[in-house]
Structure 1
Amino acid sequence: MTLRTASGTSASGASPTARRAVAVNRDRAVRIRRRLRAADLMVMLCWVSVALSVSLWLAYGGAAQVTDVASALTAGGIVSGLVGTDLILVMLVLAARLPVIDRVVGQDAAMALHRRLGKPALYLILVHGVLLTIGYALTDGSSVIAETISLFSGPDMALAYLGLALLIAVVVTSLVAVRRRFSYEAWHLVHLLSYAAVLVALPHQLSVGGVLADGTLQRVYWIGLYVLAFGSIALFRFILPTLASLRHGIRVAGIEPVAPGVVSLHLKGRQLDRLRVEGGQYAVWRFWTGSTWWHAHPISFSAVPTATSARITVRELGAGSAALGRVRVGTRVWFEGPYGVFTDAHRVAPKMAVVAAGIGITPIRSLLEHASLQPGEATVLLRATDPSQTYLWNEVAGLPSMSGNSVYTMLGARPHGLATWMSAEAIARGVTIASAFPELLSSDLYVCGPQSWADLVVRDARAHGLPDAQIHIERFDW
């Protein structure tokens, strides 16, 4: 492991520095308390929506309808369907990229919760279908098979079964083992079916069994929840990004090769500083060429935008990202964002520790550019298997914010048979995360790189006693 200390001298005058540190820490404490309260409120609203969906059903005599086994099964099916549908609509809101959710917990955390809700929501919808079918069969005195065929005869129920099939397809393709067999573009296309799955099931909610009878608060609640979910997606995923893209008029200004398979795309536009991009954030980019217009790429800013320019750096990870290196100068670019809480504004500790590997340098580079750092406040470790992966390393030490701070580099392959994020040479020399970052426990740790590698860094940090509140991770996979 090699040390490269950025040039610079110690700040003169201890008293102003100390006063600034106290003010910065006080401001961070206030921001932390606000975010925690907002995050708790969001979680509470999710559970309130679930409780409200069941409470409204009970308020309109749902429990009073349970008189025997058949009606009990039917009631169980209705409740599971209400809760499952409520969770699916919550998932859609989480995927809508609402600015308030992004500012509080970040899109990564929101989408992680979105994925965790997928299986429970599907199981509840499956239970909904099974219990209702059995309950209806007992009530009608028919077999389950005959009841299933009978339900299929109605157009609303046929749409409900179609929605269930689409939902199963979405959940199955979201499993990690299955997802890795798809290209990002194919997986994303399948995932869009979740919108169709929810929409096609709506008619049977409003018509079958009178559960959401016209004129009831239940009906108002569910229509309102549908409007919130799909309105949020329409507004924040389509309407506002389209307007912002037209207003800023971003185009490709140039393409700069960085390394084999890695290019920086220099972009130009109008009033890009008004995007208020913070270092470490990303946007979802769409390049309007015949071969790339249908690809949406989540890519971090590798430099903080100016009023007229921006830069992203891309590594070829598939056919879609490879095509970006061949777009022509002048190509129109649309975007969604900026997104992400992988920023200096979300620090909670007085020091900063940074670990980046491969193309994970891109948000790290803009994060460090944008951060307001004092000498001795930050320690950066840049990791690569070989010199061909040292993307943008030469820029990091030269950043003004890194004056008086330390930049380490670690080259070399990981040792075979050992689960570690460090090189074999570093392991042989006894390097640990504690020796690389002596002040780790009083630092915010920022980690960006391949998922399995980043997980090992986080594992070591937690084992050393670093709390999760001080760990910030940005992943470069889907």
Structure 2
Amino acid sequence: MIETARATPRTPPSTTERARLRDAVPPAESLDIAARRRRRAGRRRSAMTDLLGILAWVSASIAVTLWLASPGSHRVVGIGGWLTDAGIVAGLVATDLVLVMLVLAARVPLIDRTFGHDNAVAVHRSLGKPVLYLLLAHGALLTLGYGASAGTGPIAETIALFSTPDMPLAFLGLLLFLVVVVSSLVAVRRRLPYEAWHLIHLLSYAAVLVALPHMLSVGSVLAQGTWQRVYWIALYVVALGLIALYRFAVPIVVTFRHRIRVAGIETVAPGVVSIHLAGRDLDRLGARGGQYGVWRFWTAKTWWHANPVSFSAVPARGRARITVRDLGAGSARLGRITPGAFVSLEGPYGLFTSRARTAPYLALVASGIGITPVRSLLEDTDLRPGEATVLLRGTDADQQYLWHEIADLAEATGNRLYTMVGHRSRSRESWMTEEDVRRGVSLRSVFPNLLQSDLYVCGPRAWSDLVVREARSAGVPEHQIHQERFES
């Protein structure tokens, strides 16, 4: 039975146990060497993330350079010519970055291993708004430029453009991309069910495809026989090819190779179920504790929806498990799936694993369904006694998902578990309960080795952001903070 005493150890170690834990911890010199190596690895990962963003804009600069080097690109006549050329440059940069965004979202193993999938997705998201602004500028500048050169107004020129071959498709592509970007804004994203957002996001593929004829039919900009045309065709082939390979072909191969099916459904708490999966050689999926997969359950009511869900246990040879909370129409239906249903999988993905560690100690903080990656990460990490400390947070007894399993893992490895139960404080903005705020509990008091620890945080976005904010204020280096967010 798990004690719910706030910010106190589940089972305080005896004097004999404390001596055993102290003697089991390696000398400080060994920890310092390991810490230095991990810090270097963390700095390399941070540098790789910056490099990925730089490479995206370098790709766009190559597109503009090829256009500037092409014959006829420098003959600018009047204000209309300047506006038109500015519109062309905006369009080239925007289209290049859209294709780069597709590559970053394709889950290419080389990119994931080199930069990390989470970092690739972060760069992908950061490019969304600039691309939208550039596309809007592309349309507006070209309309004004053509109108100035022809002596017509913007409205008349817009009507004239619609009669140009492939231009209606270009406007359709712009509209589709506008819908995708707006749906991804935080304020809009939080109001949309995941199912609706995922469906809308697929429009980005359609936006790229419908804009392709316009790209290849704009005369001298991408004239046949030029290096520009070669570059753009190659970029389209690479981007769409990687999407087809890693988002569709590889998951199909993985699915049929491992033949995953639902073995059973276990109710964990109201609105929370564990889905037990059976298959062939599931230990060879390459899943690490803390990672997630994109699951599709092939039943009449769930086949159309892909569910990003973390492994709640490290896959064994013939079995795996995920634990799902009812957070929307799609996830609610998963609790009613009958055993034997066929399951397809994309992944595993994510850097919320022990491979991301850079410090000698481990601090794990989880709330709600965020327990799932923390539980599998703890299972998959080779821990010394006293190396890890776990803090679990829940509003009440109904939110203590898998806590008993975490307790068993902590006890088996000789590490500490703390629990914190109750509603969040209302007297001030905090991730803790009102009583813990009054008692002066903090991350530093729960985790004495906080600054020498890798901090893994998983839970609802607003709550986990507060934990991370306190960690940064306490001086935890950025490369030692690992955050996985769950919307609830």
**Deviation string for 1:288-335 (max 9, x for gaps)?**
000000110000000000111100001111111011111011111000
Residues 1:90 and 1:417: Cα distance change in structure 2 (over 3 Å): farther
Residue 398 in structure 1 maps to residue 408 in structure 2: yes
Q: 1:2-17, aligned counterparts within 5 Å? A: 2-5=8-11, 10=20
* Structure 1 stretch displaced more, 119-128 or 57-66: 57-66
> Could you tell me how far apart the structure 2 residues matched to 1:239 and 1:394 are?
39
- Cα distance between partner residues in 2 of 1:470 and 1:418: 27
What is residue 127 of structure 1 aligned with on the other side?
A: 137
Q: Secondary structure of the residue that 1:255 maps to in structure 2?
A: strand
Say whether the 8 Å CA contact 1:166–1:197 is kept in structure 2: yes
Deviation at 1:373, TM superposition (A): 1.0
Partner of 1:164: 174
Partner of 2:428: 418
Partners in 1 of 2:36 and 2:287 — Cα distance? 24
Following TM superposition, by how much is the alpha carbon of 1:20 offset from its aligned partner in structure 2, in angstroms?
6.3
| Paired residue type of 1:346 | A
**2:213 equivalent among 183, 200, 203:** 203
Cα offset for 1:112? 2.8
- 1:108 is aligned to 118
1:324 correspondence with 2:330: no
Identity of aligned residues (%): 61
Task: Tell me the amino acid that sits aligned with residue 317 of structure 2.
Answer: A
TM-score, scaled to structure 1: 0.95
Choose the corresponding residue for 1:231, options 236, 241, 250.
241
Q: Secondary structure at the match of 2:10?
A: strand
Question: Which residue does 2:311 correspond to in 1?
Answer: 301
| Distance (whole Å) between structure 2 residues aligned to residue 59 and residue 286 of structure 1 | 48
Mark the CA change 1:269 to 1:17 in structure 2 (over 3 Å): closer, same or farther: farther
| 2:469 paired residue among 442, 459, 468 | 459
Measured after TM superposition, the shift of residue 6 of structure 1 is 8.3
Is 1:470 the counterpart of 2:480? The answer is yes
- 1:362: which partner in 2? 372
Cα distance change of structure 1 residues 429 and 232 upon mapping to structure 2, 3 Å threshold? same
Greater displacement, 112-121 / 267-276: 112-121
State the 1:372 CA deviation: 1.1
CA contact (8 A) 1:258 1:264 kept: yes
Kept in 1, the 8 Å contact 2:37–2:358? The answer is no
Secondary structure of 1:232 counterpart: helix
CA contact (8 A) 1:368 1:402 kept: no
1-structure distance, mates of 2:183, 2:239 = 22
Give the structure 1 partner of residue 292 of structure 2: 282
CA deviation digits over 1:320-375, x for unaligned, max 9? Answer: 10111110111110000000000011100111111100110000000000011111
Paired residue secondary structure (1:399): helix
1:222 and 2:232 correspond: yes
2:273 is the alignment partner of 1:267: no
AA aligned opposite 2:281: Q
CA contact 1:173–1:179 (8 Å) conserved in 2: yes
Tell me, in whole angstroms, the C-alpha distance in 1 between the residues paired with 2:297 and 2:221. Answer: 46
Q: Deviations over 1:160-185 (max 9, x none)?
A: 01111111111122222222332211
Is contact 2:425-2:431 (8 Å) kept? no
Which residue number in structure 2 is paired with residue 245 of structure 1? 255
> What is residue 73 of structure 1 aligned with on the other side?
83
CA displacement at 1:37 relative to structure 2: 5.3
CA contact (8 A) 2:367 2:459 kept: yes
From 147, 155, 161, the equivalent of 2:157 is 147
Amino acid at match of 1:421: W
Query: Which aligned pairs between 1:78-97 and structure 2 lie closer than 5 A?
Result: 78-97=88-107
Q: 1:330/1:27 Cα in 2 relative to 1: closer, same or farther (>3 Å)?
A: farther
Deviation track 1:203-251 (CA, whole Å, cap 9, x = no partner) reads 1111123201111111111111111211111111100001100000000
Which has the higher mean CA deviation after the structures are superposed, 104-113 or 405-414?
A: 104-113
| Distance in 2 between residues matched to 1:161 and 1:193, nearest whole Å | 14
**1:62–1:438 distance in 2 versus 1, CA, 3 Å:** farther
**Cα pair distance change 1:14/1:355, threshold 3 Å:** closer
Query: Cα–Cα, structure 1 residues 465 and 475, in superposed 2: closer, same or farther, change >3 Å?
Result: same
1:61-97: per-residue Cα shift (whole Å, max 9, x none)? 4652223211111110000111111111111112111
Structure 1 Cα separation of the partners of residues 119 and 33 of structure 2: 29
Q: What is the Cα deviation at residue 200 of structure 1?
A: 0.7
Q: Is 2:385–2:414's contact at 8 Å kept on the other side of the alignment?
A: yes
RMSD value over aligned CA atoms? 2.1
Instruction: Point out where structure 2 has 5 or more consecutive residues left out of the alignment.
Output: 1-5
Question: CA shift at 1:33, angstroms?
Answer: 5.7
Aligned length: 478
Rounded to whole Å, the distance in 2 between the matches of 1:428 and 1:37 is 41
Which residue of 2 is the match for residue 409 of structure 1? 419
Helix, strand or coil for the counterpart of 2:365?
A: strand
Q: Which residue of 1 aligns with 2:3?
A: none
Q: Matches of 1:165 and 1:448 in 2, distance apart? A: 36
What does 1:10-49 correspond to in 2, within 5 Å?
10=20, 21=31, 24-25=34-35, 28=38, 31-32=41-42, 35-36=45-46, 38-49=48-59
Note the residue ranges of structure 1 that are not aligned, 5 or more in a row. none
Aligned twin of 1:50? 60
Mapped to 2, the partners of 1:14 and 1:354 lie a distance apart of 20
State how far apart, in whole Å, the 1-side matches of 2:35 and 2:437 are: 35
Query: How much has 1:469 moved relative to structure 2?
Result: 0.6
Distance in 2 (CA, whole Å) between partners of 1:93 and 1:5 is 49
- Show CA shifts across 1:116-145 (max 9, x none): 211110111111111111111122222222
| DSSP 3-state at the match of 2:74 | helix
